Amino acid sequence: MNYNRINNSIGWLCGFIATTVYIMTAERTTSFWDTGEFIASAYKMQIVHQPGAPLFLMLQNVFSNLAFGNTERIAFWMNVGSAVSSGLTIVFLCWTITALARKVLWKPGTELTRVNLIQIMASGAVGALAYTFTDTFWFSAVESEVYAMSSLCTAVVFWAILKWDARAEEPGADKWLLFIAYIMGLSIGVHLLNLLAIPAIALVIYFRRTAKATSGGAIRALLIGFVVVAVVLWGIIQYLIKFAAYFDLFFVNTLGLGFGSGVVVFALLVIGATVYGIRYSIQRAKPLLNIILLSFAFVVFGYSSFAMILIRAKANPTLNNSDPDNAFSFLSYLNREQYGDNPLFKGPYFDSRPIDIKYGSNIYRRGAERYEVAGRNFDYEYDRETVFPRIYSTREASHQQYYRSYLNLGENEQPTFGDNLRFFFSYQIGHMYGRYFLWNFVGRQNDQQGHGDFTTGNWISGIRFIDQWHVGGQDALPQSQLTDPSYNKFYFLPLILGLLGAWWHFKRRQRDAGVVGLLFFMTGLAIVLYLNQTPLQPRERDYAYAGSFYAFAIWIGLGVAAITDWLAKKLSAKTAAAIATGIGLLAGPVILAKDGWDDHDRSEKYLARDIARNYLESCAPNAILFTYGDNDTYPLWYAQEVEGIRPDIRVVNLSLLSADWYVRQMKDKVNEADPLPITIPDEKYVKGVRDVIYYQDAKIPGHVELKNIVALMLSDNPNDKRQIQGEQPENFLPTKNLQLTVDREAVVRNNVVPEAWRDSITDVMHWTYNRNYVSRTELAIMDMLVNNNWERPVYFATTVPSENFMGLDKYLVSEGFALRLMPIAIKPNTAQGLVNAEAIYGHVTNNKYTWGNMRNARYIDPESYRMISLILNNIYGAPAEALIAEGRVDEARELLNNALEFMPERIYRIMDAYGYSFITDNLYAVGETDKAKSLTERNIAYIDDQLKYYAAIAETKPNLEMQNIQYSMFTLNRFAEAAKEHGQTDLAARIEKIFGQYEARFFGGMPGN
């Protein structure tokens, strides 16, 4: 038997199956979250958010060429790049499992039996194919994100250390260690998660190189592994660049040489010292020093992919996050300074108060001819601090409210260290890791994101008596969940198979099992410790733990060997191996694929791209569109940069506009979009200058012209400054009462206001600024408003939080997915505010809006169906209401029928039902009574189903889901009032009966009921 040939064939077959599945289920265009930015940046070699992924971008650029110039296919081929990376991960996983199984089942010097060969190969195939269909890995495998390629790096290095282990006594075996070092270096250009495999690699090396291993020796090897991680993570990735930056500081500021001269000298010194050290180690026969220096050289060589960041930043591409074109901005980029740090070892409680500031080193920025001091690093000192801080976030009031609610703390009750640990074990480990682990190997209730609540994002098994206490029981689950594609029941089978494999592995070869266990820990719970995540995350974070699930999949594969050994005590060895293989396939890949396919098949979904198109098409030509978050920005970047959709629109992300480099970039023309009309000189808003301007009431009567306020905040005259916080006088905001004088002729000339509203154009816009400070974001917007003179349309995306409107809310008019700034004095024409129904009607009926096949796609993801209520309210409900008020009933009817044609029949959330209540109100008003009744009955059936479930779980878990219960009751009441108002008394009576039943159930014992 040719073992290697069979092993290679099985591995490649598993990889082929996985890659085929991933290509079949891959999204055909961009997805939500980071993929839009990654695809746009890979296509044009641009700079993504910190700390960058240059190798990933370069490799994805290669895949983009397979589109052969068809820009609508570029995203798909980059998704194929992730599919191929994921398929190769499965190949190396299979070979890893077979290598580990072989060490147990095929003793050196003995003949490999056919039964043992079946055990080994079946273990590899079952484990690899099981991981193929796990929820987390499959999700990343079908979109252009870094996690697929990162998983490949981890798979390769873990497989490579086993190759070294098998050949460690052969001449030249250490080439495998150098190969690992090189892959580690390359992986930094994808994602840092791969570094967490180093401690497991250190243990393999120790066990192989030590004649008699001891517990103390293993611990020392483990500590060395942690030191190596620290050396790479901080020494190479950060301090190597930091030393280069300070060399450049000396050469530029002290010696008067040009920017970059110190970096060149430092690089030559590092190269020279490394070459000298390698030569010295060879000449003096020091093999350990030799392998260390060579490994260092290979890690740095792989890390050199980051040169792409510097090179492309100097070219000033359209997407140039942080503009890292010099040593200090590059250092800031790598250190992720944009995102701040989470405390790990010591820090505050969430209710702690800062009592002092501890200043550190200078912060430098590049000036015209030298580096300039932009400020100093600092840390707050607090009145109460604790070791191992887990409930620390003071950034948002919502975080503090969540902590109190989650820990049952009173309004003024101080948290204790016990509360700190309770949050760590219950939320960070239980909710943010254990729940994800069980999704992959036990089952999933639904894909609605949960924040520690009960009925969303939970795990489920499909076993009734277990689910009874966990989710209220299968019988109680609403029909909408039982028919949800993301309702996956694995009956604990993959988990049991993995636990059997782990038990067998520890029993038969403890050292190897310990190595896999360490990989499982380092890529799982160790990440939990390091990330120290705050509550209310904007998305599920299971992708961070894919390496941990990878390690568990190794044990799923070895579960086949465990079952074979057990069955062999009762059956023939051949029969036992065959049955174990069948059990493994059914309990692993088959059940995972069967229930997981429908909620991972994204091949029919186009909504992220189409929603991006809708945002852009909501805007008039040459508009300025302010966005806020990832999902109203990254897909738009993709649409413009890759598919060339509305390149005349200037998309401005408000979260980034607080950075000086971003304001500077907004002053340049991009594609077909003109620069923003920002006139502030660069030196007046560089880092360290006017980072924040605080409000200090100067008791100015009335409203003050905006241009005067901007001039005051930009003034360098000491008389225009006040002593506020620091030792030096600062610019300040003297009043919140602002006004902007309107050039009526410019407004009319540029068609800013619909013709029907031109009589409502105001001569002066008055508003109250809604913050106690002015950041660069607001300063840039104010300057732009002063200088724009209505030449360019100004919009805010509908998803921008209202606190970012700067108090201009009453002048914002909905034109679909964007709110247009209009200088009008007019009362709201709908319950949703001011709506330009004519514009929205035109966008819908002229097919400017497209809906990404959301009605007919077999599966749409949570981020997609969260858009449904927004679409129902803003695109259909409110405009129809406005059209009806204007007497344009036929147009309103056409708009509403368009909603019924293109919106999904499935109701995903209570918010959707609430959105449909606006549609039914208007359907009654335009005479579509039968359609209104049908839609109402569908929605009240859904709400009734949900409320039955809430009532069932309330028997054992009272006070859960009260917000959803209240929202359901409110929506039922809306449907009842609409039915009653339009003469549907029988329907109204039925709804009121349901309402009364649940009002008594949930609120009967409450005061006032």
pLDDT in tens, 110-128: 888 999 999 999 999 999 9
User: How far is residue 815's CA from residue 834's CA, in Å, rounded to a whole number?
Assistant: 9
Which residue has tokens 């299968």?
Answer: 474
What DSSP string describes 298-348?
HHHHHHGGGHHHHHHHHT--SSBTT---SHHHHHHHHTTTTT----SSEEE
Exposure string over 691-720, b if 16+ CB within 10 A, otherwise e: eebebeeeeeeebbebeebbebbbeeeeee
Amino acid 1008: pLDDT: 38
Chain center to CA of 526: 20
User: Do residues 585 and 126 touch, judged by C-beta distance below 8 A?
Assistant: yes
DSSP 8-state class, residue 174? T
Contact 656, 628 (CB under 8 A): no
pLDDT tens per residue, range 219-250: 999 999 999 999 999 999 999 999 999 999 99
For range 578-592, the mean pLDDT: 96
> pLDDT digit string (tens) for 922-944?
999 999 999 999 999 999 999 99
Q: Give 46-69 pLDDT, tens digit per residue.
A: 999 998 899 999 999 999 999 999
Give the integer Cα–Cα distance in Å for 559 and 129.
Answer: 13
Contact between 830 and 878 (Cβ < 8 Å): yes
Cα separation, 939 vs 914, in Å, equals 9
pLDDT at 151: 96
The dihedral region occupied by 879, where left means phi > 0, alpha psi between -120 and 50, and beta the remainder, is: alpha
pLDDT at 454 (0 to 100): 65
Residue with tokens 């390496």: 547
Residues 335/238, Cβ–Cβ less than 8 Å: yes
- Identity of the residue numbered 865: Y
**Mean per-residue pLDDT for 990-1008?**
78
**CA-to-CA distance for 647 and 668, rounded, in angstroms?**
14
pLDDT digits (tens, 9 = 90+) for 801-828: 999 999 999 999 999 999 999 999 999 9
pLDDT of residue 706: 96
Residue 450 has pLDDT above 80, yes or no: no
Q: Which long-range contacts (CB under 8 A, 24 or more apart) does 67-71 make?
A: 71/642, 71/643, 71/644
Q: What is the pLDDT of residues 863-921, one digit of tens each?
A: 999 999 999 999 999 999 999 999 999 999 999 999 999 999 999 988 899 999 999 99
For residues 887 and 875, the answer to whether their CB atoms sit within 8 Å is no
pLDDT at residue 725 tops 80: no
Q: Over range 270-287, report the average pLDDT.
A: 95
**Res. 451: pLDDT tops 80:** no
Q: Which of 152-161, 461-470, 954-963 has the lowest mean pLDDT?
A: 954-963
Domain boundaries, the chain: 3-309+493-596, 341-419, 604-826, 850-1009
- Asked if residue 493 has pLDDT above 90, the reply is yes
Asked whether the predicted pLDDT for residue 1009 surpasses 50, the reply is no
Cα distance between residue 758 and residue 755, in whole Å: 5
Give me the pLDDT at residue 1007, please: 37
Q: Count the Cβ atoms, other than its own, within 10 Å of residue 990.
A: 18
- pLDDT band (50, 70, 90) for residue 457: confident
Please give the Cα distance from 447 to 862 (Å, whole number). Answer: 7
pLDDT at 1005: 45
Highest mean pLDDT among 329-338, 375-384, 435-444, 470-479: 435-444
Cβ contacts of 199 within 8 Å, gap of 6 or more = 222, 225, 226, 229, 518, 522
| Average pLDDT of the residues in 266-284 | 96
**Average pLDDT in the chain:** 93
Residue 411, pLDDT > 90, answer no
As a whole number, mean pLDDT of residues 285-312 equals 95
For residue 929, what is the DSSP state?
H
Q: Long-range pairs for 273-280 at CB < 8 Å and ≥24 separation? A: 274/300
- The position carrying tokens 């997981």 is 596
pLDDT at 1006: 42
What are 835's two structure tokens?
């709506």
